Structure formats: structure tokens, C-alpha cells
């Protein structure tokens, strides 16, 4: 339930930009499971999809697709 509330807060037009960014960052931290591994996490569309890639690599892997979850 907490993740659902965080998603709502991250996308609510009633929250200011700082509040939305706080919740987006909080959700992004939940995605990172092992902080010892050396990966770069990227989101080209403002948090709707999250990719990871190893340092120095150009190949990336889809970690989470929030856009498709919301459509379901």
C-alpha cells in the first residue's frame, strides 16, 4: 500500500515540484536492491521507465516500467 501512495504522490498535480520529486526519488531508491553493485540507473522519461547499465557500458536493461503498470 505504501508504494501505491508514493506513486500517487509522485504524480499528483496537486503537489508542488519538490514534493513530487521527493516521492519519485523515494520510488527510485526502492528499485535499487543491491547498492554494492556498480550500476548507473537512468530514466529518460521522468521516472515512467527505469533502466540500469554497468559503468562504462552502453547496453542497458529495463528495470521497471511504471507506464505499463498504470495502464493495467
DSSP annotation of 4 reads H
50: Cβ contacts below 8 Å, ≥ 6 apart: 28, 31, 41, 42, 43, 62, 63, 64, 65, 66
Which residues touch 27 (CB under 8 Å, ≥6 apart)? Answer: 3, 6, 7, 10, 47, 66
- Residue 7 CA, chain-centre distance (Å), reads 10
Name residue, grid cell 503498470.
69
Domain count, the chain: 1
Range of the structural domain that residue 7 is part of:
2-71
Q: pLDDT digit string (tens) for 23-71?
A: 888 877 766 655 666 788 888 887 788 888 887 888 999 987 776 665 5
Its pTM stands at: 0.45
For the stretch 28-40, pLDDT in tens is 776 665 566 678 8
Amino acid at each position: 500500500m505504501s508504494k501505491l501512495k508514493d506513486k500517487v504522490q509522485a504524480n499528483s498535480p496537486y503537489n508542488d515540484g519538490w514534493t513530487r520529486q521527493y516521492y519519485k526519488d523515494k520510488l527510485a531508491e526502492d528499485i535499487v536492491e543491491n547498492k554494492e553493485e556498480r550500476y548507473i540507473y537512468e530514466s529518460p522519461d521522468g521516472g515512467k521507465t527505469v533502466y540500469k547499465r554497468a559503468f562504462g557500458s552502453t547496453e542497458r536493461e529495463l528495470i521497471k516500467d511504471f507506464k505499463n503498470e498504470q495502464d493495467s
